[in-house]
Amino acid sequence: EVQLVESGGGLVQPGGSLRLSCAASGFSFSTYWMNWVRQAPGKGLVWVSRLKSDGSSTNYVDSVKGRFTISRDNAKNTLYLQMNTLRAEDTAVYYCARGWYGSFDIWGQGTMVTVSP
């Protein structure tokens, strides 16, 4: 079964750091671009970042540039999102999603990140 499972979310203070993980299974992880998408409580989806299959190219939404870093370990079939200098507005459910023909075809169940004193 093709599956993505996120972990690493939790409660963190403003200015703090957190690393999210996304474990992939059931497909050839190393051949796909991978993405992070977030959704603040009661709000819409926001694309956050994407990473090329071999890890050589990264892109970020302006609001997280310089604070978030996307990476992957193809040997472990795992995608990561290192989040530093967290702000209240980063509070959201974070989904990892597989890139496919300009879309996101496989999604994880999401992991909740809450930034609060």
Q: Which residues bind other proteins (CB under 8 A)?
A: 35, 37, 44-47, 50, 57, 59, 61-62, 95, 97, 100-105, 107-110
* Minimum CB–partner distance for residue 24 and other proteins (Å): 14
Q: Which is nearer to other proteins, 1 or 62 (CB)?
A: 62
49 touches 68 (CB < 8 A): yes
Q: Which is nearer to other proteins, 2 or 88 (CB)?
A: 2
* Minimum CB–partner distance for residue 115 and other proteins (Å): 21
Q: Which two tokens stand for residue 49?
A: 């970042």
* Minimum CB–partner distance for residue 77 and other proteins (Å): 19
Please choose, from the candidates 53, 48, 68, 59, the residue with its C-alpha nearest in 3D space to the C-alpha of residue 110: 48
Coil, strand, or helix at residue 111? Answer: strand
In whole angstroms, give the CA distance from residue 40 to residue 42.
6
